[in-house]
Structure 1
Amino acid sequence: RPTTETEKVLAGLFADILNLDHVGIDDSFFTLGGDSILSIQLVSRARTAGIHIAARDVFEHKTVAALARTARHQPATEEHTPDIATGEVPLTPIIHWLRERGGPTDAFHQAMFLQVPANLGLNHLTTAVQTILDHHDALRLRLTTQPHWTLNALPVGHINAADHITRVDITGLPAHDALTTFTHHAEQARNRLNPANATLVQIIWFDAGPRTPGRLLIMIHHLAVDGVSWRILTPDLAAAWNQAAHGHTPTLQPATTSFRTWAHHLHRQALTPQREQELELWTNILNAPDQSLSDLPLDPARDVTATAGTLTTTLPAHYTEPLLTTLPDAYHGKVTDILLTALALAICDWRRHHHRTNPHVLVNLEGHGREDITPHTDLTRTIGWFTSLYPVHLNLDDIDLDDAISAGPSLTTAIKRVKEHLRTTPDNGIGYGLLRYLNPHTTTTLKNQEHQNRPHISFNYLGRFGTDTHHTHNWTPAPEGAAFSGSHPNHPLTHTLDINAATWQTPTGPQLTITCTWPQALLDHHTVQTITNTWTNILKTLTTQPHTGGLTPSDLTLLNLTQNDIDELELD
């Protein structure tokens, strides 16, 4: 058990973030179910408590005891020297990606649907929303698209919160009628989003009366928010409201590095020789002999959001729990290693049953993008769209598919191979976007490569949500649904198969939810269902079998060993 004050604080944060009753000082954050996104939340909350650790520290010193030894203390109210957060913001790679995608972009958003206190109060809510609008500069972005795309972060006070809040009375409404009301007002809010006049935020308070918890829809244009941002924004909004409700002027922990400063860092980083040396790596990946799931190419006029099919599959808690904890620990890797390996096996299995035998799978992988690539930056308190998107080559050549699908030794080999490819990708792939969009010497080469062999599948693991619901139901995802996210019906689809996975905490434990989206002119529901069934069956089988696991070369950086060398040593 913890003995020092630092250990006690860190153990409490581990338990709170991972929804555990208690944590020992030798427990690993990742073995307990943590991931890279939750590690950012850990760093932010530790700093609020006056304990200074970096995101890289969590990966290098995974336990409470090890982190406590490396942490340094600072006052929780320590003043930070703010950078220049307002003014023109250079386009980041993911925003360039949106620009090239084409189609209407005004409605492209993310949203959270929260349960809120019955006594929320319009005045207190307005004060809280104004606080976050003034505090987080990305929420004040204005996009100009003519004659070319430019972004500007407007000064504090430029956006009036009251203009972006709507109160809807749902007192006494039956559940079905309330759900219809939620959906109707969510559509109206989406139509009000307008980056051209800096309308990036819409807040709708569904007031259920003075004795019944209400609902709060927070809708934000994707230009200003991503999956990590919600883990900052939602607690900030709750804290600001709580302070206002108790008669105090809300104050929030500062964000050290602004989104604007980060964007400038990316542009400088893209031109460094170290980044340019990655060009060969990315061209080799894009040259992999991939094969689409469809004989037809994407048509941006036909294959749009309105014509997409969707399928959502949930993995029960008794499978999800080991998938997040003991399995990654056994392989000294991440849950993404396991998910992508099983996905690649499912794709190859479908191919061989449709006369498309090919052991190579190209996937566009989304990452959180908040990589530690420049000194003196701290993004743990910064809201914005930081997502990185980069191709990965999942090579299952010489893998016995039948043996791997039944969780035989070939599955262990496949997981280690995928893990090594992902582990040896520099800085979790952020360099691809830098070279693809921000470096004039490499942009054309990678753009041409994409046209010739663009990945047909995209994958995004969003991490864990709702991990602290055992403390309170207010300011957490409402039971009617966690999100009303999406885009304009005419927004072009970018992949033949788009996959988003996330883990949600439920009363029975964590559950993995996988949502597939596809153009119905290219794929049918049966195809996606077949692939998803094989994928989840592999995961189920894997989580119920003894974990072979083992080390890979990237785990032993001080030694020059091949995988065969390691396998022989482990047998001895």
Structure 2
Amino acid sequence: MKKKKISEMIMNLSSSDLELLHLKFRQLVGNSVLENNTRKPNRLIAYIEENNDYDKERLKNFLKSRLPDHMVPNDFISVEKFPYLPNGKIDRKKLLSVKEAIKGVDNILSNNKPTNETEELLVRVWEQVLEFSPVGINDNFFEIGGDSILSIQIISKARKLGLELSPNMLFEHQKIAELSLFLDKNIKTANVQETLVGEIDLSPIQHWFFDTHKNAPHYWNQGMMIGEIPVNMGSVLKVVIKEIVDKHDVLRQSFFQENGLWKSKITNSQVLDSYLYIDLSQEQDKQAAIEKYFIEVQENTQLKKGNLFRALHFGLGNENKDICILFAHHLIIDVVSWQLIMEQLMTALHDKINMGNFELPTRTTSIREWVEHLKSLDLREEREYWLNQVDKIKELPFKEIKKSSILSEDIETYTITLAQDTTHYLLSSANDSYHTKTDELLLTALVETFCAWSGETTLSINLERHGRETLGTEYDLSNTVGWFTSFFPISLEQDMGGLDRKIMNVKEQVRAIPRGGIGYGVLRYLRKDLGLAAKEPEIVFNYLGRLINEPDHSNEELVVTPIFENVHHQKSERNYILELNVYIIDDKLTVKCNYGTNFIGKNQLKTILESFIDNVEVLVNHCINQEGQRYSPSDFSEVDLNQDDLDNLLSSLE
């Protein structure tokens, strides 16, 4: 019966799907050959790290005099330097990438090169966004350091090169060889949006903000600083900022109360003053003056008047380069939005200065249309899932403090990093063994860390995700600025088995989250269906990926850095005890933990975070030393299998 069903499915495939099926079979055979060649080579190969020339035949004769015949290498391959794993062992996978390697392996590796112009362009885009090369056409985007945030950058850059990627495609076809087959196949893209003005409904995350921030809702910002600005760039910067505010509707958004309820509208840019020039050339302590002015502008912000995105251009005098601080209220911006704005700003400045004009990318789905889409979702099947997650929330053994809330003034920050080489493996080859994404390995380490500390077998966290879940829809948010974050509770169960089971267990729980978590906010805040007093976990976890990506045409003199200080009011409420923001900067995994000092001491927190980093290292070392690959049910989402059924099926195919 099953055979008949499969054959019927194959007969009904379109020509594109048949082509993709053939490609996957070729890849499967290729992987099998690669494994056979690496595990059971027909020829013995010796690799030599050489500083001087050597005589291959003399070396071979010398080894013949010392070793049995079957242990004498058939060939010798020279390498400049041996690649090492974090545990000090030789990285055998990297050795196989040497071009003079075994003929069969070399042929397979050559099949990873682009075969046409489309694949070459996609390889170039992936290498720019992922910041390493070479990228092969059969490399899985999410297993070589890609994540959902970077996928949005992939779409944006590909479109600049004339490749019309839809938001769904990178998730459905995660390898360039597959992706290129579908680029010119009548892709349905969103209609170009007109300039948006007028009232607009709040999104779920904006409802959450107003529900939880009562003391100083006007002062909760994010910022970027551009340094080393030439003194003659002011007029160009002003023009570019105005165009960016015109293009991105939410940068003109304001918020007001009516009958006790928060509402929102988008105004015309003509009534806003988004660019301000402040002359500090006569100030003796320019840094102190910048900080003072920056705080004053934020304190005087009024949500109802708008101007929630501003560029403060500080003129420091002819002997100094200028500084510009860009800041926006979190209500209208998120990390993805900052990446879009900064790339477009830098590219526009470059084009305006060097070519006299510039053009910003076209609009994609508006925030108004997206909120309407969220309101229309059928979430009846999700409701039980989210009620179950809330019901399972467990408290952690923090100090019991009788205080109604935690304020920003109660918060301190502790930062810890992962070694650069381990970060490299975490973003790439560590994901091969179990077909994981980076955040799934990080969450596995997090579960192990906090369950060991608490003595529980469940870890409850509030998980933040980018919220731009357009998979399976016609909507396109690849160039839409706004605060789209999905913010939801999840209780992750610990597996008591080996590391393989722990990894696959967390991977399956994370991938079971419906629609990337956007349904929780819709049910709770747009439909009031989960109760207003739902329990909240005490930990927030947010994996941001690469924090800053350099634009293609950035002016080499300009220096861009994120601003973390003085962007929140000291009396603003915090709704957690620990907030873990995890990101990649300077090629290192960085864990920036904001913690409530009344609930946990610095030394205890330091011990916990060091344990987390240790667990990440253990998982990475385990993954990169695994032989072969392990699959779990989510890798075959079209089939209803549990792990035991899948293991039995794969064993029967060996």
TM-score class, shorter-chain normalisation, is 0.7 to 0.9
- Amino acid in the other structure paired with 2:523: L
Counterpart residue number, 2:525: 437
1:552 aligns with 2:632: yes
Contact residue 166 and residue 203 of structure 1 kept, 8 A: no
Contact residue 205 and residue 521 of structure 2 kept, 8 A: yes
For 2:175 and 2:333, how far apart are their aligned partners in 1?
A: 30
Contact residue 203 and residue 218 of structure 1 kept, 8 A: yes
After TM superposition, the structure 1 stretch with the greater mean CA deviation from structure 2, 540-549 or 228-237, is 540-549
Contact residue 139 and residue 224 of structure 1 kept, 8 A: yes
Match of 1:399 among 492, 496, 514: 496
- 1:347 offset after TM fit, Å? 0.8
Match of 2:301 among 185, 193, 197: 193
Unmatched 5+ residue regions in structure 2?
A: 1-112
How do residues 330-479 of structure 1 correspond to structure 2 at under 5 angstroms? 330-351=433-454, 357-372=455-470, 375-396=473-494, 399=496, 410-440=498-528, 442-444=529-531, 447-448=532-533, 450=534, 453-468=535-550, 474=556, 478=560
For 1:475 and 1:154, how far apart are their aligned partners in 2?
A: 35
- 1:276 offset after TM fit, Å? 2.1
For 2:252 and 2:630, how far apart are their aligned partners in 1?
A: 48
- Amino acid in the other structure paired with 1:261: E
With over 3 angstroms needed to count, the CA separation of the structure-2 counterparts of 1:250 and 1:387, relative to structure 1, is: same
For 1:94 and 1:298, how far apart are their aligned partners in 2?
A: 28
- 1:169 offset after TM fit, Å? 4.4
With over 3 angstroms needed to count, the CA separation of the structure-2 counterparts of 1:470 and 1:247, relative to structure 1, is: closer
Counterpart residue number, 1:404: none
- 1:16 offset after TM fit, Å? 1.0
For 1:246 and 1:179, how far apart are their aligned partners in 2?
A: 31
- Amino acid in the other structure paired with 1:318: D
Provide, for residues 37-92 of structure 1, a one-character-per-residue CA deviation record: whole Å limited to 9, x for no partner.
000111112122221112321122222222221112899xx995425622111011
Match of 2:263 among 150, 153, 157: 150
How do residues 481-496 of structure 1 correspond to structure 2 at under 5 angstroms? 483-484=564-565, 486-496=567-577
- Amino acid in the other structure paired with 2:501: T
Q: For residue 66 of structure 1, give the secondary structure of its aligned residue in structure 2.
A: helix
- 1:533 offset after TM fit, Å? 0.9
For 1:85 and 1:99, how far apart are their aligned partners in 2?
A: 23
- 1:199 offset after TM fit, Å? 1.8
- Amino acid in the other structure paired with 2:536: R
Provide, for residues 302-351 of structure 1, a one-character-per-residue CA deviation record: whole Å limited to 9, x for no partner.
x2001112111111211111111122232212111111111111111112
Contact residue 131 and residue 250 of structure 1 kept, 8 A: no
Number of equivalent positions: 534
- 1:21 offset after TM fit, Å? 4.1
Contact residue 366 and residue 388 of structure 1 kept, 8 A: yes
For 2:625 and 2:618, how far apart are their aligned partners in 1?
A: 11
Which protein, 1 or 2, shows the higher relative CO under an 8 Å CA cutoff with sep ≥ 6?
1
For 2:489 and 2:393, how far apart are their aligned partners in 1?
A: 13
For 1:170 and 1:392, how far apart are their aligned partners in 2?
A: 54
- Amino acid in the other structure paired with 1:565: D
For 2:339 and 2:421, how far apart are their aligned partners in 1?
A: 26
1:124 aligns with 2:217: no
Contact residue 466 and residue 477 of structure 1 kept, 8 A: no
For 2:240 and 2:555, how far apart are their aligned partners in 1?
A: 19
- Amino acid in the other structure paired with 1:60: E
Match of 2:138 among 26, 45, 48: 26
- Amino acid in the other structure paired with 1:149: W
Counterpart residue number, 1:354: none
- 1:32 offset after TM fit, Å? 2.6
Contact residue 143 and residue 432 of structure 2 kept, 8 A: yes
Match of 2:396 among 292, 296, 314: 292
Q: For residue 278 of structure 1, give the secondary structure of its aligned residue in structure 2.
A: helix
Counterpart residue number, 2:119: 7
For 2:643 and 2:190, how far apart are their aligned partners in 1?
A: 49
How do residues 72-111 of structure 1 correspond to structure 2 at under 5 angstroms? 72=184, 81-83=192-194, 85-101=196-212, 102-111=214-223
- 1:433 offset after TM fit, Å? 0.5
1:258 aligns with 2:366: yes
With over 3 angstroms needed to count, the CA separation of the structure-2 counterparts of 1:482 and 1:493, relative to structure 1, is: closer
Provide, for residues 208-231 of structure 1, a one-character-per-residue CA deviation record: whole Å limited to 9, x for no partner.
667876443211111111010011
- 1:255 offset after TM fit, Å? 1.2
Q: For residue 462 of structure 2, give the secondary structure of its aligned residue in structure 1.
A: strand
- Amino acid in the other structure paired with 2:544: L
Work out which of the two has the higher radius of gyration on C-alpha atoms and give 1 or 2: 2
Q: For residue 218 of structure 1, give the secondary structure of its aligned residue in structure 2.
A: strand
- Provide the TM-score with structure 1 as the length reference: 0.86
With over 3 angstroms needed to count, the CA separation of the structure-2 counterparts of 1:52 and 1:471, relative to structure 1, is: closer
Contact residue 451 and residue 457 of structure 2 kept, 8 A: yes
For 1:170 and 1:326, how far apart are their aligned partners in 2?
A: 54
Match of 2:596 among 519, 524, 527: 519
Matched residues, percent identical?
Answer: 28
Unmatched 5+ residue regions in structure 1?
A: 352-356, 401-409
CA RMSD of aligned residues (A): 2.9
